[in-house]
A and B are shown apart, each in its own frame.
Chain A
Amino acid sequence: MSWNTPAELKYMRSDEYLKLEGETATIGISDYAQEQLNDIVFIELPDVGAEFAKGKSFGTVESVKAASDLLMPVGGKVIAVNDKLKDQPELINSSPYGDGWIIKIQVGDAAEANDLMDAAAYAAYCASR
């Protein structure tokens, strides 16, 4: 099996990705995660303006198989949520890195991204599971 792991992203062991864009960042779940979860049927999103520390849960994603917490790859303040997911959570399955993005944040401390995996390490990690 192989999964799409874009090179410009950073990844958590719990399968969230972080796309750093200067002082803001986009967070979603990886292609591997969406495939493992199977058809996603529900997502609980945070409010814009909410602040979360690194590793804290900012929402949940629920599929026909299981419900999982969504964790912050780095700490920060939510500046946008993908409202489309409320009616079309399946966008996470069809386009985890595109239309299926989950939140955008104002990054607190970019150095917190240093311990995240790069694409090569994450791909190896997925293959080993």
Chain B
Amino acid sequence: MTVPLIYDIGSPGRMGTTLPDVEVPETELPKELLRKDLDLPEVSELQAVRHFVNLSQLNHAIDTGFYPLGSCTMKYNPKINEDMARLAGYAHLHPLTDEVGSQGALALMVQLQEWLGELSGFQGVSIAPAAGAQGELAGILMIRAYHQSRNDKKRVKILVPDSAHGTNPATVTMAGLQAVELPSDKHGEVDLNALRSALDDTVAGMMITVPSTLGVFDSKIADVIRMVHEAGGLMYMDGANMNALLGIVKPGELGFDVMHYNLHKTFSTPHGGGGPGCGAVGANEKLMPFLPGPIAAITEAANEENDAPLYGLVMPKKSIGRMKAFQGNFGMHVRAYTYMRVYGGEGLREVSRHAVLNANYVRAKLRGVYPMPVDRICGHEFVMSGTVEGAEGIHALDISKRLMDYGIHPPTNYFPLIVHEALLIEPTETEDKATLDMFIDAMKRIAQEAKETPDLLHSAPHTMPVGRVDEVRAAKQLVLCCRPIPEPEGGD
């Protein structure tokens, strides 16, 4: 590590600031709260600044390099989003300001909800949830609340395909229901026979990602939705892969009952270290009354006296309640609104078209270099196996680590779980052909290196501040604190 710990620089007594003399009588602190030592870094302001700036420059970010992390949609976040989020009227708005004083912010939220509803074909949208997993939890709690409102208490199972994001079964468990795993067929689609035999009157619904985590659009999705509905279950769409669908497919029109969007993926709000996110939830008329709230809405239409409508906050009738304090991550609402406003409807359709085109371009160029377990036209991402013929002993992890030496963030490793040595690659629409070609070239060179100089891959990365980390030791010896934690003095 080229950057020392902040505890290892500085010297005793050094401070970044000089405190003024105390002008009031000192108060004795209770003895049980006193400690002999307070183990804090003792550095000057300049040392602290240099330490953190140097660390930040070791980061790989979408602003510094290519980031094809599958299922995460690491697209460029336009800087105009930041300008808008910093407008004083939004950035300085106090969360406790009353509705009359927040009309501009509420109007923006209503417009964002309408656009998300239009894109997905849903009648109701709540932008309260803070992230994708919270959006999922809201959606599944809504399904549960729907069945309970009909006094149908035996529906306790949620079907989840084996290609699902790990958050799906976790969400089901968090919601107090049981996850039932469904196998995929050899095309990576839902196995209809397995679905048929899993369906009965204990099934509350099904969670499915469209396109799937294998990057493919399930050609039998209409049958899947019909079968689940006929059995009395509801359909939840995990919208993590919405970047393939904008202006092309409306989940609500396909028959889904509820879905979540990841504004931090599809709608270019910061993602990965830069968050926080927003896991908005859309629902059809059946589930709308259960949406989490409060939801921004027009509470009084424009009339002869007032040429603008009055906006307010409304709790849906049978709401599952709050997911987040105040109105969720409002700064993300402003960024996503700005993104959609800049592109417009036709522009958003182009976003998805280019995302799909870019993924298929990379996939087609890497065919024959790496195994493609699902060898068909993909959506916005595709999965390959990180193995090289004639180079036994090379794993997906070795390829990923070597990619770092080429200045590229590794793709998603070992997910989906059903693909051998999976590498899930999502270039996004914001990369140009030169960058995609640079990536393709790096992947081809690595395949060659795998055969000729495999040790180069096994010991990669070579150009990073930290080399190959010992993942086994890290997993088995969980030590999160670099220094011993001092025992509290006295007290119980």
List B contacts of A90 (CB < 8 A).
472
List B contacts of A65 (CB < 8 A).
413-414
List B contacts of A129 (CB < 8 A).
420
The answer on a CB contact under 8 Å between B476 and A41 is yes
The answer on a CB contact under 8 Å between A39 and B420 is no
List A contacts of B395 (CB < 8 A).
38
User: How does the 8 Å CB contact mask read for B13-42 relative to A, with 1 for contact and 0 for none?
Assistant: 000000000000000000000000000000
List A contacts of B434 (CB < 8 A).
none
Cα(A129)–Cα(B420), bound, Å: 8
The answer on a CB contact under 8 Å between B420 and A41 is no
Name the residue of chain A whose CB is nearest to the CB of B414: A65
* 11 A-B residue pairs with CB within 8 Å: A1-B392, A41-B476, A42-B475, A42-B476, A64-B471, A64-B475, A65-B414, A66-B417, A89-B476, A90-B472, A129-B420
List A contacts of B475 (CB < 8 A).
41-42, 62, 64
Partner of B472, one of A1, A36, A41, A66: A41
Cα(A38)–Cα(B395), bound, Å: 10
Q: In the assembled complex, how far is the CB of residue B372 from the closest CB belonging to chain A, in whole angstroms?
A: 15
* Interface members, chain A 85-119 (any B CB < 8 Å): 89-90
Cα(A64)–Cα(B472), bound, Å: 6
Cα(A42)–Cα(B474), bound, Å: 12
* Interface members, chain A 25-40 (any B CB < 8 Å): 36, 38-39
Q: In the assembled complex, how far is the CB of residue B37 from the closest CB belonging to chain A, in whole angstroms?
A: 34
Cα(A62)–Cα(B395), bound, Å: 18
User: How does the 8 Å CB contact mask read for B412-450 relative to A, with 1 for contact and 0 for none?
Assistant: 011001001000000000000000000000000000000
The answer on a CB contact under 8 Å between A39 and B471 is yes
Name 4 extra pairs, CB < 8 A, besides A64-B472, A64-B475, A129-B420.
Answer: A1-B392, A41-B472, A42-B475, A65-B413
Name the residue of chain B whose CB is nearest to the CB of A68: B417
Cα(A36)–Cα(B418), bound, Å: 11
Nearest 7 CB-CB pairings of A with B = A41-B475, A39-B472, A64-B471, A65-B414, A41-B476, A66-B417, A64-B475
Chain A, interface SS category: loop
List B contacts of A38 (CB < 8 A).
395
Name the residue of chain A whose CB is nearest to the CB of B417: A66
Cα(A38)–Cα(B471), bound, Å: 11
List B contacts of A39 (CB < 8 A).
471-472
Cα(A129)–Cα(B371), bound, Å: 12
Interface bin, chain B: 10 to 19
Q: In the assembled complex, how far is the CB of residue A55 from the closest CB belonging to chain B, in whole angstroms?
A: 12
Residues of B participating in the A interface, judged by any CB pair closer than 8 Å = 392, 395, 413-414, 417, 420, 471-472, 475-476
List A contacts of B392 (CB < 8 A).
1
Name the residue of chain B whose CB is nearest to the CB of A39: B472
Q: In the assembled complex, how far is the CB of residue B481 from the closest CB belonging to chain A, in whole angstroms?
A: 20
List A contacts of B471 (CB < 8 A).
39, 64
User: How does the 8 Å CB contact mask read for A114-129 relative to B, with 1 for contact and 0 for none?
Assistant: 0000000000000001
Q: In the assembled complex, how far is the CB of residue A3 from the closest CB belonging to chain B, in whole angstroms?
A: 13
List A contacts of B476 (CB < 8 A).
41-42, 89
List B contacts of A1 (CB < 8 A).
392
List B contacts of A62 (CB < 8 A).
475
Q: Which of B392, B414, B471, B472 has the most CB of A within 10 A?
A: B472
Cα(A41)–Cα(B470), bound, Å: 12
Q: In the assembled complex, how far is the CB of residue B468 from the closest CB belonging to chain A, in whole angstroms?
A: 12
The answer on a CB contact under 8 Å between B417 and A36 is no
Name the residue of chain A whose CB is nearest to the CB of B413: A65
Q: In the assembled complex, how far is the CB of residue A36 from the closest CB belonging to chain B, in whole angstroms?
A: 7
List B contacts of A89 (CB < 8 A).
476
Cα(A100)–Cα(B406), bound, Å: 39
Cα(A119)–Cα(B475), bound, Å: 33
Q: Which of A36, A62, A64 has the most CB of B within 10 A?
A: A64
Q: Which of A36, A65, A89, A90 has the most CB of B within 10 A?
A: A65
Q: In the assembled complex, how far is the CB of residue B391 from the closest CB belonging to chain A, in whole angstroms?
A: 12
Cα(A36)–Cα(B422), bound, Å: 11
* Interface members, chain A 48-81 (any B CB < 8 Å): 62, 64-66
Q: In the assembled complex, how far is the CB of residue B378 from the closest CB belonging to chain A, in whole angstroms?
A: 21
Cα(A57)–Cα(B268), bound, Å: 41
Cα(A127)–Cα(B338), bound, Å: 52
Name the residue of chain B whose CB is nearest to the CB of A65: B414
Name the residue of chain A whose CB is nearest to the CB of B476: A41
Q: In the assembled complex, how far is the CB of residue B173 from the closest CB belonging to chain A, in whole angstroms?
A: 14
Name the residue of chain A whose CB is nearest to the CB of B475: A41
List B contacts of A36 (CB < 8 A).
420
Q: In the assembled complex, how far is the CB of residue A101 from the closest CB belonging to chain B, in whole angstroms?
A: 20
Q: Which of A41, A62, A66 has the most CB of B within 10 A?
A: A41
Q: In the assembled complex, how far is the CB of residue B223 from the closest CB belonging to chain A, in whole angstroms?
A: 26
Q: In the assembled complex, how far is the CB of residue B471 from the closest CB belonging to chain A, in whole angstroms?
A: 4
The answer on a CB contact under 8 Å between A66 and B420 is no
Cα(A97)–Cα(B414), bound, Å: 25
List A contacts of B417 (CB < 8 A).
66
Cα(A38)–Cα(B417), bound, Å: 13
Q: Which of B413, B417, B475 has the most CB of A within 10 A?
A: B475
Q: In the assembled complex, how far is the CB of residue B205 from the closest CB belonging to chain A, in whole angstroms?
A: 22
